[in-house]
Amino acid sequence: MHLFCQGKPPGSKLLRLEAEIDFSKPGSPVVREITIHGDFFAIPEEAFDTLESSLKNIPLEDFAQVFEARAKELRLQLAGISGEGIVAVLRSSIDAA
Amino acid sequence: MPHKIRLLETGFADAYFNMGLDEAILESVSRGDALPTLRFYGWNPKAISIGYFQGARQELDVKACSSKGVDIVRRITGGGAVFHDSELTYSIVIPETHPLARASIIDSYGWICSGLVRGFEILGLKTQFSPINDIVWEGKKISGNAQTRRLSCILQHGTVLLDVDVDEMFSLLLVPKEKAAGKMIADVKERVCSLSIALGRKVGFKETQDAMRQGFGQALDMDFSKEEPRAGEVERACRLGTEKFSSESWIYKR
């Protein structure tokens, strides 16, 4: 399923997401790839580009944890965005589909 | 003891030069070639800047911008899209090791914005810093700010709205779908404010620049040395403007 969705979960800026979600396997849906746009802050910015492009083939239930762990590895300072916020927007869109 | 700060009042320029000069200043402060720097400037022609993580086509009516002669530029800072028309813009560059620097993003927004809040107070307006990155008057946004950290320096730039044409602004900016219902558009428009609206009189660029300079000086204990940008910074800004900020690959990077 190809999703375009946006939302402003608590503590987040407006997040605009484009994601490929795979429901073919039993259990959690899998985020095959994702593009994250929005008016949030992530410093250094180029490290966020690296983080974003690494977010492939991740079960949705693990996504928030993986996002935060990789952000920490890349020493990103984030404001207005979180792994939980991204998952909240994705889940809301999946539920509405 | 007051902090020695270079003051640049560079007047009006186009979007690409403006963003180029902020980056050129960041580079020269980083190299130690210049003091920490506070710059005030304006925009001519009108422009919309988008945040580093925004998609130009998601945020803007690109055709409407083109037909109205409004430039589009991507910033090196995050944050949201800003319509730069009747406004004063500032940028401040300080090394991360400087006593004025704060480690956390939120703390440094609040700290640097205290200069603007004092500037608004000098103009007769009681405003508050509203985390993450706004300053509000009676709940309405009157200043937006954006920050990055590169080359061991903090760059924060932001706007002080002098006047605002909300109809023109929202003919260029795309309102998110969930805000598209008529009531919500009205709500978004009502949350935007300007100095002229708040003070009930026209407030000029120079008057605001003078107040904000005093505001930064008082709130952050700055001792200004007024200078012109160096020839090398102007040359670098022109090159960044031409080769980076006005390039399609940068503007439509996301």
pLDDT at B184: 57
* Nearest residue, CB atoms, B54 vs list A38, A44, A80: A38
b (16+ CB within 10 A) / e for B124-134: ebebebbebbb
Q: Please, which pLDDT band fits residue B3 given cuts at 50, 70 and 90? A: very high
pLDDT at B211: 98
- Cα(B233)–Cα(B237) distance, integer angstroms: 6
pLDDT tops 80 at residue B187: no
- Cα(B129)–Cα(B134) distance, integer angstroms: 6
Are the Cβ atoms of A16 and B76 closer than 8 angstroms? no
Q: Which residues pair with B50 in a beta bridge?
A: B74
Chain A nearest C-alpha distance from B141 (Å)? 15
pLDDT at B186: 64
Q: Considering its fold, how many domains does chain B have in total?
A: 1
Minimum CA–CA partner of B144 in chain A: A39
CB A64 within 8 A of CB A86: yes
Residue B248 lies in a domain: no
Q: What are phi and psi of B173, to 5 degrees?
A: -90, 140
Residue B84 lies in a domain: yes
Percent of chain B with pLDDT strictly greater than 70: 94
Residue B211 lies in a domain: yes
pLDDT tens digit sequence for B195-204: 999 999 999 9
pLDDT tens digit sequence for B142-172: 999 999 999 999 999 999 999 999 889 989 9
Specify the range with the lowest mean pLDDT, choosing from A37-41, B51-55, B187-191, B234-238. B187-191
Residue B252 lies in a domain: no
Tokens of B134: 């706004």
Domain that holds residue B198: 3-243
CB B99 within 8 A of CB B33: no
Q: What is the ipTM of this complex?
A: 0.95
pLDDT tens digit sequence for B94-147: 999 999 999 988 899 999 999 999 999 999 999 999 999 999 999 999 999 999
Taking domain A2-96, whether its CATH number is 3.30.390.50 is answered by yes
Contacts of A40 in chain B (CB under 8 A): 53, 78
Are the Cβ atoms of B78 and A14 closer than 8 angstroms? no
Angle (CA) B211 B216 B222, round 5° = 125
B226: domain CATH number? 3.30.930.10
